[in-house]
Amino acid sequence: MAVPPQRRDDEQTKKEENIRCLPLLDNFGFECFPRQLVHRSIQQGFSFNILCVGETGIGKSTLIDTLFNTNFKEHKSSHFHPSVGLKVQMYDLHESNVHLKLTVVKTVGYGDQINKEASYRPIIDYIDTQFEAYLQEELKIKRSLIKLHDSRVHVCLYFIAPTGHSLKSLDLVTMKMLDSKVNIVPLIAKADTVSKTDLQKFKSKIMSELAGNGIQIYQIPANDEASASVNSLQECLPFAVVGSMDEVRVGKRTARGRQYPWGVLQVDNESHCDFVKLRNMLLCSNMEDLKEDTHIHHYQRYRCHRLTKIGFADVGPDNQPLSFQEIYGAKRQEFSEQCQREEERLKQRFVQRIKEKEAEFKETEKELQDEFQHLKRIQQEKTKKLEEERRQLEEEIIAFYKMKADFEAQQAQQAQPASNLKKDKERKK
């Protein structure tokens, strides 16, 4: 029996009314991807490597302490280092459930030498060494880049002395050598020693000199959402900073800063210095961009230079793309041919050396033979002379014995009459 249409509609409505609406406990779909990345990043932890370049006593350690609100308890460096060195220190920092592995590299004795010609060389060597370590791990068959501690320098905080005039030649030369290897963020250290008017003029002078000398500093990336803040940060370069861990009294509260007879300078007050802007740029908004820029630009430039120097290329002589296997096969064949050529050269050199030695031995043998013949002739002459002397001596001996015999015979003849006379006398008696 067929069910009437009206009854079917009533049953459908009843079923729809009995359906329960369950609330969703969490989001689902690919909008959860960012959460997965955040969770994995928190589990793995973060790493950040800072290079501080500046003269001794300019405030590098104090600024790092202020940035991370931690007293790292470092020993002060002296001004009597014979050459520029680097001090590498690693710290494990925790904030809430976030773990940060911080590496701070500071120059020691920078700008203290009379001859400052190669003051930048230890810094360049250190940066290249970290790039090379990462490259060697990358070229391994069984590599572990996730577990590898990335020691590549992500940012260079270059401390400029607050002279208020212009950059020193050492600053220009060093930053020119560093701009292709690391992200440079120039800082005016101890900015509280310069008035605000002179500070703005000093900033303009520094940026003009950097542009005039073709020095590339870190450019803060801009986007639509934060273009205003980016422009504000870009206009502040170089950052005029002051570091201090001292707590000073400001009205009814305390703040980090410096107490002077004419007032208080607050480190975290943006109207007093650019420390907050520097901290936000380094830690809050651009740390990952600094790391990405280091990997994409500076490290890739070093990697390209090293692989090109070894002999690898992306295209062949006919501008056709080459695979790694083809390049490896060509390099292996080239190396094999080079080894064969070197082997042939060594064989020829070995044969030539043998011939030269044989010629030397023959010449020495001839000289020895001539010397032997000469000595033999001398010996024969001496032997002949000795034989002649022996013959003469024998003749003299024979003559001597003959003379002796004659003398004895003569004496015997003379003694015979005397004996006869004696016998006659005895008879007579």
Residue 1 has pLDDT above 80, yes or no: no
Residue 3 has pLDDT above 70, yes or no: no
The 3-state secondary structure of 147-173 reads CCCCCCCCEEEEEECCCCCCCCHHHHH
Mean pLDDT score, 390-400: 91
pLDDT of residue 392: 92
**Number of helical (H) and strand (E) elements in the chain, helices listed first:** 11, 9
User: Between β-strands 46-53 and 263-266, what pairing exists: parallel, antiparallel or unpaired?
Assistant: unpaired
pLDDT of residue 254: 86
Kindly report, residue by residue over 129-181, the tens digit of the pLDDT. Answer: 999 999 988 888 888 777 788 899 999 999 999 987 888 899 999 999 999 99
Per-chain mean pLDDT for the chain: 84
Kindly report, residue by residue over 276-304, the tens digit of the pLDDT. Answer: 899 988 888 889 999 999 999 999 999 99
Reading the block at residue 166, the tokens are 């212009």
* Phi, psi at 315, each rounded to 5°: -130, 155
Closest by Cα among 301, 285, 299 to 152: 299
Name the band, by pLDDT with cuts 50, 70 and 90, for residue 224.
Answer: very low
Share of the chain above pLDDT 70, in %: 84
CB neighbours (10 Å) of residue 326? 12
Mean pLDDT score, 327-338: 81
Residue 22 has pLDDT above 80, yes or no: no
Residue 38 has pLDDT above 90, yes or no: no
- Left if phi > 0, otherwise alpha if psi is -120 to 50, otherwise beta: which for 41? alpha
Q: With b meaning 16 or more CB within 10 Å and e meaning fewer, what string describes 182-219?
A: bbbbbbbbbbbebeeeebeebbeebbeebeeeebebbe
pLDDT of residue 348: 93
What stretch of H or E contains 243?
none
pLDDT of residue 301: 92
Q: Which of 10-14, 140-144, 207-211, 225-229 has the highest mean pLDDT?
A: 207-211
With tokens 């460096």, the residue in question is 77
Residue 26 has pLDDT above 80, yes or no: no
Straight-line distance from the first to the last Cα atom of the chain, in angstroms, rounded to the nearest whole number: 217
pLDDT of residue 13: 56
* One-letter amino acid of 173: V
State the DSSP string of 40-85.
Answer: HHHHH-EEEEEEEE--TTSSHHHHHHHHHT-----PPPPS--SS-E
Mean pLDDT score, 45-68: 90
Q: Which of 65-79, 87-101, 275-289, 320-334 has the lowest mean pLDDT?
A: 320-334
